[in-house]
Amino acid sequence: MGNSVQTLSDKVSLIASPRTWVEGLAIEQLQKTAELPGMVRVVGMPDLHPGRGYPVGAAFLSLERFYPALVGNDIGCGMALWQCDLPLAKAKPDKLARRLGAVEGPLDESWHSLVAERKAALGISEHGYDSALGTIGGGNHFAEFQAVERLYQKDLLDPKQLLLLVHSGSRGLGQAVLQQHLAAFGHQGLIANTEETGLYLARHNQALRWAELNRELIARRFIDAIGSSGHCLLDVNHNLVSETGDGWLHRKGATPSTQGLVVIPGSRGDHSYLVRPTQSELGLYSLAHGAGRKWQRGDCKSRLSHKYRREDLLRTAFGSQVICNDKTLLFDEAPQAYKPCHTVIEALLDAGLVELVARLKPVLTFKTQGGGLLMHLLQLSAGQGPDECNRAVWLAARRLEAEARERGLTLAALRSVPGNVPQSLKSLLLAVQGEGAQAFCETWQGPMLWHCQSGLRPGHRRKNWYFSGQLFVAQEAVFDDAITFKATKAGGPGGQHVNKTESAIQATHRQSGIRVWVAGERSQHANKRLARALIAHKLAALAAAQQSAEEQACWQQHQALERGNPRRRFFGPDFVAR
């Protein structure tokens, strides 16, 4: 063992060589986490970097209680490596890219039977997030075709065949699980062997299985798109908590070393490494999960935009291609924003935690084709419920607005239907914009319950009032060529308040004749974006109207509203979440 294991205190150690750069804030977060009640050991990995209050790239061992907030909102995030039955000689980046035209958005009907079969096999009873299955998500998630550059151990990989590495997690489901916990307990830990612990672990374990299935479906979707077949070599989660003989082991951006081979990815312009763990207690039976960020996301564009054009970032030094039509994400995930992966691997080797199996290089990295063009529409509806349900929608809209503001998201109301009494809404259609919009919307998707004595009908015995949320995702690029835009002046009360610039937009979908008028924003660009979103929603509604009554009921909230198992619950006149 070399000098890559640093003891920072009696509870805290860091696996990092002198060549491994670790930000000071990450070490501060690591030491602060060690002070949590019941925490007995904390180990930072060489990819350690600051997170939102807690560090990423670390393992934590506690006694008698555990901390869901340490696991975070992307429960089950992890890596899956697949061997494709496609020779590298036929895997040219440009050719692969041309075949990936339909690998985003919800899976179509041809996948539904496989999804149902696999969910049953994995014991997944969660159904509210099926529309996100088979989708990568944003941030640092990706699907990357790779090639073996060097084999250190023979007969484990076919160096002549294409590989696919998938990095994704539980999408909005994990966010909902964490949010439910935080609403009830904040950042406090859960005491072992309590009812609350059992409820959290049940949902946590559902999210783990869901994330594993999500990666499987992403891999099958991509491999199917390139006309190949393949099989899974490994799938390992790196955000989870588990009970061990020594206590509760939390992993946040830390890969278990007890499940066989592990892949540790670099950035899209760097090598990834397939390693064999030694299952050492030194690292709390955990390893690094990647290269680790060097720069904060918000700093990347300002650091790089004056040096590189967008086109420069779509090719790497390996000659590999990058598909990412979100300009901000393209800069945020640039190779320069990450540590060199070989320094992470060197630290793990020096600490005696791994053996090298193979070094992999990127062929094509897929982030998103839609990029900033993805539009997220969220509809809240009381269905055919009474006035109290309409009041619930109004209260939910206020809470949703506050939660969106906390996450730096922007909302635009596209359409609202007022209720019959003050402070009530029959339905509300919102456009949600910003990083993490889909994951946020998914926490408001499905049936919801407001439990409260009626303030509209004193003495009324009923206290359960249902409403629901429906997420719709579309790509602007799909509609641009089919829409005619016309700029107009926004209306006003007259005098100095009249908008003298033509910022309002009238948009017409030529094929269907659907026409919308949007003036909610101050710029034409923003109003065009909302007009596209509204047309997309109307087209989906038109398609739903042409389906069978049974299919239509699944989509159209105003026709039927699901009861039974609410995704979220709110209580009292203050609409408190629990």
139 is in an annotated binding site: no
Quick one: pLDDT band at residue 79, thresholds 50, 70, 90?
very high
Q: How far is CA 177 from CA 61, 348, 567, 572, in A?
A: 21, 33, 10, 22
Q: Residue 74 has what DSSP assignment?
A: S
95 is in an annotated binding site: no
Report the pLDDT value the prediction gives residue 548, as an integer from 0 to 100.
40
Q: Are 374 and 475 in contact (CB under 8 A)?
A: yes
189 is in an annotated binding site: no
Quick one: pLDDT band at residue 272, thresholds 50, 70, 90?
very high
Q: What is the mean pLDDT of residues 300-316?
A: 88
Q: Residue 338 has what DSSP assignment?
A: B
Residue 267: phi, psi to the nearest 5? -70, 180
Report the pLDDT value the prediction gives residue 442, as an integer from 0 to 100.
85
169 is in an annotated binding site: no
Report the pLDDT value the prediction gives residue 389, as an integer from 0 to 100.
97
Same domain, yes or no: 429 and 312: no
Q: How far is CA 248 from CA 37, 60, 66, 83, 284, in A?
A: 13, 8, 6, 34, 11
Is the alpha carbon torsion for 84, 87, 93, 96 positive or negative? negative
Q: What is the mean pLDDT of residues 352-371?
A: 91
Strand pairing of 425-433 and 446-451? Answer: unpaired
Q: What is the mean pLDDT of residues 190-208?
A: 95
Cα separation, 524 vs 502, whole angstroms = 8
Amino acid at 2: G
Which of 307, 338, 369 is where one domain is finished?
369
491 is in an annotated binding site: no
pLDDT tens-digit series, residues 503-512: 788 888 776 6
Which of 346, 369, 392 is where one domain is finished?
369
Specify the range with the lowest mean pLDDT, choosing from 79-93, 255-269, 330-344, 535-549.
Answer: 535-549
Report the pLDDT value the prediction gives residue 119, as an integer from 0 to 100.
96
Is the alpha carbon torsion for 438, 443, 447, 449 positive or negative? negative
Quick one: pLDDT band at residue 561, thresholds 50, 70, 90?
very low
Give the number of other CB atoms < 10 A from CB of residue 80: 24
Quick one: pLDDT band at residue 490, thresholds 50, 70, 90?
low
Report the pLDDT value the prediction gives residue 156, as an integer from 0 to 100.
85
Which range among 139-153, 362-376, 440-454 has the greatest average pLDDT? 139-153
> Where are any strands of DSSP class E within 32-77?
39-49, 56-62, 65-66
Report the pLDDT value the prediction gives residue 520, as an integer from 0 to 100.
65
250 is in an annotated binding site: no
> Where are any strands of DSSP class E within 369-475?
374-381, 410-418, 425-433, 446-451, 464-475
Report the pLDDT value the prediction gives residue 550, as an integer from 0 to 100.
34
Instruction: Kindly report the CATH number assigned to the domain that includes residue 32.
Output: 3.90.1860.10
- Residue 536 in this model has a pLDDT that exceeds 60: yes
Same domain, yes or no: 58 and 91: yes
Same domain, yes or no: 343 and 474: no
Quick one: pLDDT band at residue 545, thresholds 50, 70, 90?
low
Which of 204, 250, 271, 289 is catalytic? The answer is 289
Report the pLDDT value the prediction gives residue 541, as an integer from 0 to 100.
65
Q: Please tell me which residue, 528 or 122, carries the higher pLDDT value.
A: 122
Q: What is the mean pLDDT of residues 200-217?
A: 97
306 is in an annotated binding site: no
Amino acid at 357: V
Report the pLDDT value the prediction gives residue 311, as an integer from 0 to 100.
86
Same domain, yes or no: 412 and 324: no
Q: What is the mean pLDDT of residues 308-322?
A: 91
Q: Comparing C-alpha atoms, which of 174, 167, 245 is closest to residue 204?
A: 174
Same domain, yes or no: 156 and 84: yes
Cα separation, 284 vs 451, whole angstroms = 44
Structural Rg of the chain based on CA atoms:
25
Same domain, yes or no: 162 and 44: yes
91 is in an annotated binding site: no
- Residue 279 in this model has a pLDDT that exceeds 80: no
Q: What is the mean pLDDT of residues 339-356?
A: 96
Report the pLDDT value the prediction gives residue 523, as an integer from 0 to 100.
64
pLDDT tens-digit series, residues 412-460: 888 889 999 999 999 998 888 876 788 888 889 888 999 999 999 998 9
Q: Comparing C-alpha atoms, which of 339, 356, 359, 349 is closest to residue 20?
A: 339
Q: What is the mean pLDDT of residues 131-155?
A: 92
Report the pLDDT value the prediction gives residue 1, as an integer from 0 to 100.
56
Q: How far is CA 461 from CA 126, 420, 458, 562, in A?
A: 31, 21, 9, 21
Which of 369, 403, 421 is where one domain is finished?
369
3-class SS of residue 470: strand
Same domain, yes or no: 82 and 225: yes
Report the pLDDT value the prediction gives residue 508, as an integer from 0 to 100.
85
289 is in an annotated binding site: yes
Query: Can you give 498-560 as a three-state secondary structure string?
Result: CCCCCCEEEEEECCCCCEEEECCCCCHHHHHHHHHHHHHHHHHHHHHHCCCHHHHHHHCCCCC
The count of domains in the chain is 2
Report the pLDDT value the prediction gives residue 497, as an integer from 0 to 100.
37
Same domain, yes or no: 212 and 314: yes
- Residue 529 in this model has a pLDDT that exceeds 80: no
Report the pLDDT value the prediction gives residue 531, as an integer from 0 to 100.
81
pLDDT tens-digit series, residues 44-76: 999 999 988 899 999 999 999 999 999 999 999
Q: Comparing C-alpha atoms, which of 118, 107, 133 is closest to residue 214?
A: 133
Quick one: pLDDT band at residue 396, thresholds 50, 70, 90?
very high
Cα separation, 536 vs 534, whole angstroms = 5
Please indicate, yes or no, whether the overall pTM of this predicted structure exceeds 0.75: no
Strand pairing of 354-368 and 321-324? Answer: parallel
Q: What is the mean pLDDT of residues 269-290?
A: 95
Q: What is the mean pLDDT of residues 460-481?
A: 77
Same domain, yes or no: 243 and 100: yes
Report the pLDDT value the prediction gives residue 387, as an integer from 0 to 100.
96
Q: How far is CA 267 from CA 264, 323, 385, in A?
A: 10, 14, 50
Same domain, yes or no: 508 and 403: yes
Arithmetic mean of pLDDT over the chain:
87
Amino acid at 448: M
Pair of tokens at residue 37:
């009640």
- Percentage of the residues of the chain whose pLDDT score is greater than 70: 88
Give the number of other CB atoms < 10 A from CB of residue 430: 24
Residue 158: phi, psi to the nearest 5? -95, 105
112 is known as an active-site residue: no
Same domain, yes or no: 242 and 360: yes
Give the number of other CB atoms < 10 A from CB of residue 11: 18
In terms of C-beta density within 10 A (0-12 exposed, 13-18 middle, 19 or more buried), how is residue 35 classed?
exposed
Q: What is the mean pLDDT of residues 322-350?
A: 92
pLDDT tens-digit series, residues 159-182: 999 999 999 999 888 888 888 888
Number of H helices, E strands in the chain: 14, 28
Residue 25: domain span: 5-369
3-class SS of residue 268: coil
Instruction: Kindly report the CATH number assigned to the domain that includes residue 513.
Output: 3.30.70.1660
- Percentage of the residues of the chain whose pLDDT score is greater than 90: 60
Place of tokens 């290269």: 291
**Degrees, nearest 5: CA angle 379-381-385:** 175
142 is in an annotated binding site: yes
Same domain, yes or no: 539 and 426: yes
Strand pairing of 504-509 and 515-518? Answer: antiparallel
Specify the range with the lowest mean pLDDT, choosing from 376-385, 389-398, 556-565.
Answer: 556-565
Cα separation, 241 vs 161, whole angstroms = 35
Report the pLDDT value the prediction gives residue 370, as an integer from 0 to 100.
63
Q: Are 411 and 431 in contact (CB under 8 A)?
A: yes
Q: Please tell me which residue, 241 or 105, carries the higher pLDDT value.
A: 241
361 is in an annotated binding site: no
Place of tokens 């719709």: 472
